Structure 1
């Protein structure tokens, strides 16, 4: 995926995917227009990881110290995270059906499957089996994974998601300058937008504008042309 890289301060409204691995995919925005990668460095990745609440502060502090001591390897580790992220995007969009007919979708997903498998195997090689109550799980540590700790944990989480992906609830947001993925956890299963506060409201604004324009013949710029639909995602 060709994208520009821009700094971004992550906030809670950037975590709408419904799963850690999906939120990683969504660290690239405007995938359906001009994609922008918000991970402009390993420190930014750590900021995102902290916001998710999935990783312990002690682990993130240890990673920050490693990254400060080894900036080159940290950037290489970030590149590997990006490879996993793009593989997950390719695989998930194919599974959701955005790549067209089933055969075409399966072909498009092949590269994604290969990369996710590679990252998962790499994670398993560093993991140990633990019990969470009565549930066994694979556990990775900064001590053994080093700067790849986040990638290893994300690969394990992604594998768990793919094993039980609720396809009937998996969506791609159709908003302009969006294309984010999300799992619809609403009661009725009719959620269309990644967030009503952003893409949903922008769509309502465009619909209202078009209705008014049709009724008055106005030639004023639309909300989208003025940039209202792109404020969050530029």
Structure 2
């Protein structure tokens, strides 16, 4: 998918890693769930749209992924990235709803972050900032894992939320002043949920009242 086709409304998480996790729309609705990262090309396009690297590097990575010598490697990279995404969701979703994350997910994410750190370089000293230089397609999952470390280390996860629409499942950081955000988008999932509840109330109001017992048995 070209960079320009990644819509701004698909980036609602408040952090690159949450937007990465949210590349599965309608995660809680089995009939509507989809995967926006089916291959290495889509992964590279998304990373560029998310700001992980620029368009020139994206073009270089696409050329590498499409080269005859490395199609299998590009496929493995895409699978690794999707695996990391699901591990991050398994770790972060329980936190978003006030539960402890599973130990297995903690272990898998820990391994991914440890691998990323071994390949990281110091970008700036004041403030101290580490980066994984994306020189090839195999560096993309590591760069995403390092961003996950930044999320877990520096963000207030008490503000991590899951959209309350029953089919959405997207995660986001609630940066509202009174921590009252309920949906990934009030204009999208919020309106849909309110309309559903309004319809349910009117449907219930239109039903005849239940018959009352006359006090006699059959």
The TM-score normalised by the length of structure 1 is: 0.78
Over the aligned positions, Cα root-mean-square deviation in angstroms equals: 1.9
Any conservation in 1 of the 2:12–2:185 contact (CA below 8 Å)?
yes
> 1:148-227 maps to which residues of 2 (within 5 A)?
148-217=138-207
Any conservation in 2 of the 1:88–1:112 contact (CA below 8 Å)?
yes
Shift of 1:98: 5.3
Report the counterpart of residue 120 of structure 2 in structure 1: 127
Shift of 1:205: 0.9
CA distance in 1, matches of 2:36, 2:98: 23
Shift of 1:180: 0.7
The structure having more radius of gyration, on CA atoms, is: 2
CA distance in 1, matches of 2:52, 2:109: 20
Shift of 1:96: 2.7
CA distance in 2, matches of 1:158, 1:177: 25
CA distance in 2, matches of 1:40, 1:193: 26
> 1:50-65 maps to which residues of 2 (within 5 A)?
50-65=48-63
Report the counterpart of residue 25 of structure 2 in structure 1: 29
**Superposed CA offset, 1:91-126 (max 9, x none):** 112223455xxxxx34x2x22222222222222222
Listed as ranges, the gaps of 5+ residues in structure 2 are 209-218
SS at match of 1:122: helix
Report the counterpart of residue 90 of structure 2 in structure 1: 90
Q: Match for 1:114 among 101, 107, 115?
A: 107
SS at match of 1:29: coil
Shift of 1:20: 0.4
CA distance in 2, matches of 1:210, 1:128: 55
Q: Match for 2:132 among 128, 137, 140?
A: 140
Report the counterpart of residue 5 of structure 1 in structure 2: none
The TM-score normalised by the length of structure 2 is: 0.84
Shift of 1:181: 0.5
